[in-house]
Amino acid sequence: MTYTLAVILGLVQGVAEFLPISSSGHLSLLQHFFGMENNDNLFNILLHFATLLAVCVAYRRDIGEMILEFFRAIGDLARGRTSQGNPPEARRMILLIIVGTLPLFLVLLVKDRVEALGNSPVFVSCALLVTGCILFFSDRMAKGHKTVRTATLKDVLLVGVAQGVATIPGISRSGSTISAGMALGFDRKFAVRYSFLMSLPAVLGATVLEVVDVASAQTAIDPAVVPMYAVGMVLAGVVGFFAIKLVNLLADKGKFGAFAYYCWAAGLLALIGSLLGFTFVPAA
C-alpha cells in the first residue's frame, strides 16, 4: 500500500459506489493491476464505510426522521397503539428497508466464495460487461409512479434480491437496485432514494463482519498503513457526497444508459489486460 494507491482507490470508491459502475469491481481490478497479490478486504470495507457516511450526510433528514419514527413506533407498541392503514412515511420506509435487506442474509452463507470472486480479474471484467447490459436496458423502462406509500413488500424484496446479486464484484449495487426499482414501477427519484438508504444496513453489516474477521484472525494491522487508510476514506466520503447528487440528477433525466458504454469499455479493456497479464506498480 502506498499513498498514491490510497488516493486512487479512495477517489474511485467515492465515484463508483454511487455512479452505477461497480465500486467493488473497480477496486478489485485496480488492486490487481497495481500488483497487490490479494485484495485488501479491510481497506475495501473501510472505503465503503466512508461512502456510507456520505449517504448519512446526503440523506440526513430522511435518516433523522426514521430514527424518530423508530422510537415512536416502539412507544406506540408499548402503549398498544398501531398505525391504522396510513403510517408515517418514515415509519413505512423503515419497514421497506428491513424487508429489502433480508436477502443479504442468504448471501452470508456464501460470503467467502463471493469475496473470492474479486481475486479473478477475468470474472470481474465479465461482470462489468453484465452491469453494462443492466444499465443499457434501465433507461428504456417506462417511468413509474410508485413511492414509499405505494411500493409493496414484494417490490422491495425483489430489489433486495438485486442487492444480494450485486455483492458479486463487478455487478453495480446502485445500478442493479435502481434498475430493479424502475423495472418494478418505482418513481425514478424514489428508486434512487430507496437504493441509497437501503445500502446503510448492508454496508454497516459488512463493515462489522470484516472487522470481526480481522480480529478473529488475530492479524496485526501495520501502523504505517493507517494514515493511508485515513486518506483514502476521507477522499471516498467527500467525492461520494457529490456523486450522490449527480446520480439523483442523472436518474431523473433517464441518463443511466451512458454508463453502460463506460462499463462495456472498462470491462473489455480490463478483460484484455488481465488475459495479457498486464500489471503496473505506482511510485510510492
Mean residue pLDDT across the chain: 86
* Average pLDDT of span 18-44: 79
pLDDT tens for 163-174 read 999 999 999 999
Q: Can you tell me which residue has the cell 392503514?
A: 85
Q: How far apart, in whole angstroms, are the C-alpha atoms of residue 194 and residue 59?
A: 11
pLDDT tens for 189-214 read 899 999 999 989 988 887 787 777 76
Of 193, 188, 191, residue with least CA distance to 143: 188
Q: How far apart, in whole angstroms, are the C-alpha atoms of residue 166 and residue 181?
A: 14
Q: 284 lies in a domain? A: no
Q: 105 lies in a domain? A: yes
User: Taking a C-beta distance cutoff of 8 angstroms, is the pair 157, 275 a contact?
Assistant: no
Q: Can you tell me which residue has the cell 455512479?
A: 19
User: Taking a C-beta distance cutoff of 8 angstroms, is the pair 183, 141 a contact?
Assistant: yes
pLDDT score of 214: 67
The CB-side HSE value for 29 (13 A sphere, CA atoms) comes to: 31
Q: 125 lies in a domain? A: yes
Category of 207 on φ-ψ map: left (φ > 0), alpha (ψ -120 to 50) or beta: alpha
Name the grid cell of 144: 413509474
Q: Residue 77's pLDDT band (boundaries 50, 70, 90)?
A: confident
* Average pLDDT of span 33-43: 69
Q: 191 lies in a domain? A: yes
Residues with Cβ within 8 Å of 35's Cβ and at least 6 positions away in sequence, in order, are: 279, 280, 281
Q: How far apart, in whole angstroms, are the C-alpha atoms of residue 207 and residue 44?
A: 9
Q: 282 lies in a domain? A: no
Name the grid cell of 73: 413506533
Cross-strand pairs, 146: 186
Q: How far apart, in whole angstroms, are the C-alpha atoms of residue 207 and residue 48?
A: 8
How does DSSP classify residue 146? B
Q: What percent of the chain has pLDDT over 70?
A: 92
Number of domains in the chain: 1
Q: 38 lies in a domain? A: yes
What's the domain range around 190? 3-79+88-275
Distance of CA 84 to CAs 78, 88, 148, 277, Å? 16, 10, 16, 62
pLDDT score of 284: 43
Q: Can you tell me which residue has the cell 431523473?
A: 252
Q: 283 lies in a domain? A: no
Q: 281 lies in a domain? A: no
* Average pLDDT of span 262-277: 92
